């Protein structure tokens, strides 16, 4: 075990590499490899550890869950189900104030349950919802904020890629993590929903004014039938995947396979051409391969933390600041906020969870509750100025020159506050995340 100088040096080098725009996968890999070579005194031993870690990780059955869930999301995306969901929910909420913003939140919640990636939800609804809200004279900040803010639902409502990565890194049950995210996800969607209804009631002018039935576009019976197929298909898919895990019919990896098969059936029903199905498979590879490489280097990083005593050093450092669990949690949340301004959610998990998860256990936090707190805080970081990545995703997907970054950040502030409130609620009442997993069969 190395001394505190080694631990501090590794952390500084890793941060410098990331700040110099070195890809996180390379930063983790290089730091871990040369750190292990220094500890063991041999590059050959470090290479052997790398080969052994890679082999053990790749052959792990649970790793298949990532490409399978990504494939499921790709089939759903290309089937047009996101647009179907939006139109279906929009029609169902037409009598409520701020119905288009409410439809965006609801659509993001449901769509997030099949894509599991908030950035994908932000990109999809930027193209689907924003033009419709502009057509109904919505204030741009309100429209853009509702898209960027509600995209955070995609990371919490299972199956979430972030929950999968967290489970792999912290060696927790992915099925339990999925179920743990259900109540917080529904609670978050409800909080967004209530905020928008109240805001639209108080400031109807920002939401296009009072509801005008003449403004609703007419749809043909064929279009309505297509929307119904898409909406019900997604609902059935979510029920089968989550219900199967909950009732113990299959593991998360088996659920991902069944979900991908059902999503393929839905894509065929929605008449996605063979070329589109092939593109979905190729895109799955493009998305999954970097994630799997990140997980491999993260496993190596975890070995370095253990052998170098870095985790113990950081725990001692945190505990020297104070022994209050809430204070330590507040520091970790601040770290996640700062990192969220610069790097993506998966990279944040890989960098921090191997250090923070053992620390949280030491100070008495329940692992499932801490995981949900971490996921919510990391996503809040993606809305934090000046470099919130979710905000930049919305900006990049909207062609309107008046959709400035300042407007999106201003519109996202209420959602950022609600995310922070949810972190506080779960910290105070961990049962929100732990009650449902305890009921699993």
- Alpha carbon distance 247, 300 (integer Å): 35
Position 211 pLDDT exceeds 60: no
Note the pLDDT tens digit of each residue in 81-95: 777 777 777 777 777
Domains: count for the chain: 1
In whole angstroms, give the CA distance from residue 147 to residue 144: 5
User: With pLDDT > 90 as the criterion, what percentage of the chain qualifies?
Assistant: 15
- Percentage of residues of the chain with pLDDT beyond 70: 92
Structural domain span for residue 237: 4-438
pTM for the whole thing? 0.82
Mean pLDDT, the chain, rounded, equals 82
pLDDT in tens, 5-32: 777 788 788 878 877 878 778 888 888 8
* Maximum pairwise Cα distance, the chain: 76
Q: With CA atoms as reference, report the closest residue to 361 among 332, 337, 321.
A: 332
Average pLDDT over every residue of 361-367: 89
Which of residues 426 and 439 earns the better pLDDT score? 426
Q: Give the phi and the psi of residue 138 in degrees, each rounded to 5.
A: -70, 145
pLDDT attached to residue 414 = 93
Tens of pLDDT along 68-120?
A: 888 887 888 788 777 777 777 777 777 788 888 888 888 777 776 666 666 66
- Residue 317: how many other CB atoms lie within 10 Å: 13
User: Looking at the predicted structure, is the pLDDT value of residue 213 above 60?
Assistant: no
pLDDT of residue 115: 62
CA distance 441 to 427: 26
Closest C-alpha to 333, from 373, 391, 365, 367? 373
Nearest by Cα to 245 from 167, 309, 193, 191: 167
Pairwise CA distance, residues 314 & 8, whole Å: 9
Q: Is the pLDDT of residue 255 over 80?
A: yes
């Amino acid at each position: 075990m190395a001394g505190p100088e080694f631990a501090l040096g590794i952390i500084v080098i890793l941060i410098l590499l990331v700040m110099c725009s070195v890809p996180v996968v390379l930063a983790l890999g290089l730091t871990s490899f040369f750190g292990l070579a220094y500890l063991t005194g041999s590059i050959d031993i470090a290479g052997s550890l790398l080969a052994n870690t890679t082999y053990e990780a790749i052959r792990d059955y649970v790793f298949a869950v990532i490409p399978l869930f990504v494939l499921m999301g790709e089939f759903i995306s290309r089937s047009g189900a996101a647009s179907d969901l939006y139109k279906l929910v929009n029609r169902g909420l037409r009598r409520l104030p701020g119905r288009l913003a409410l439809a965006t939140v609801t659509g993001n919640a449901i769509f997030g349950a099949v894509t599991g990636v908030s950035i994908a939800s932000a990109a999809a609804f930027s193209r689907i919802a924003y033009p419709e809200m502009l057509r109904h004279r919505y204030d741009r900040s309100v429209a853009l904020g509702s898209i960027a803010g509600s995209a955070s639902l995609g990371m919490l409502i299972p199956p979430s890629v972030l929950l999968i990565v967290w489970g792999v890194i912290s060696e927790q049950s992915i099925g339990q993590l999925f179920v743990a995210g259900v109540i917080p996800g529904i609670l978050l969607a409800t909080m967004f929903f209530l905020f928008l209804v109240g805001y639209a009631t108080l400031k109807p002018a920002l939401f296009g004014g009072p509801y005008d039935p003449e403004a609703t576009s007419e749809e043909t019976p064929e279009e309505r039938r297509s929307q119904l197929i898409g909406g019900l298909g997604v609902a059935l898919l979510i029920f089968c995947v989550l219900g199967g895990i909950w009732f113990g019919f299959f593991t998360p990896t088996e659920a991902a396979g069944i979900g991908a098969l059902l999503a393929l059936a839905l894509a065929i029903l929605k008449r996605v051409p063979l070329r589109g199905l092939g593109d979905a498979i190729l895109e799955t590879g493009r998305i999954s391969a970097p994630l799997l490489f990140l997980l491999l280097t993260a496993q190596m990083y975890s070995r370095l933390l253990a052998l170098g005593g870095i985790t113990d050093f950081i725990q001692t450092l945190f505990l020297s600041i104070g022994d209050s669990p809430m204070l330590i949690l507040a520091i970790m949340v601040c770290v996640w906020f700062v990192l969220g301004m610069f790097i993506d959610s998966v990279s944040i998990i890989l960098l921090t969870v191997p250090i923070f998860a053992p620390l949280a256990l030491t100070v008495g936090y329940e692992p499932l509750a801490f995981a949900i707190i971490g996921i919510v805080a990391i996503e809040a970081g993606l809305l934090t100025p000046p470099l919130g990545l979710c905000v930049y995703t919305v900006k990049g997907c909207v062609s309107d020159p008046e959709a400035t970054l300042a407007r999106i950040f201003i519109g996202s502030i209420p959602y950022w506050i609600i995310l922070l409130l949810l972190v506080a609620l779960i910290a105070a009442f961990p049962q929100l995340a732990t009650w449902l997993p305890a009921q699993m069969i």
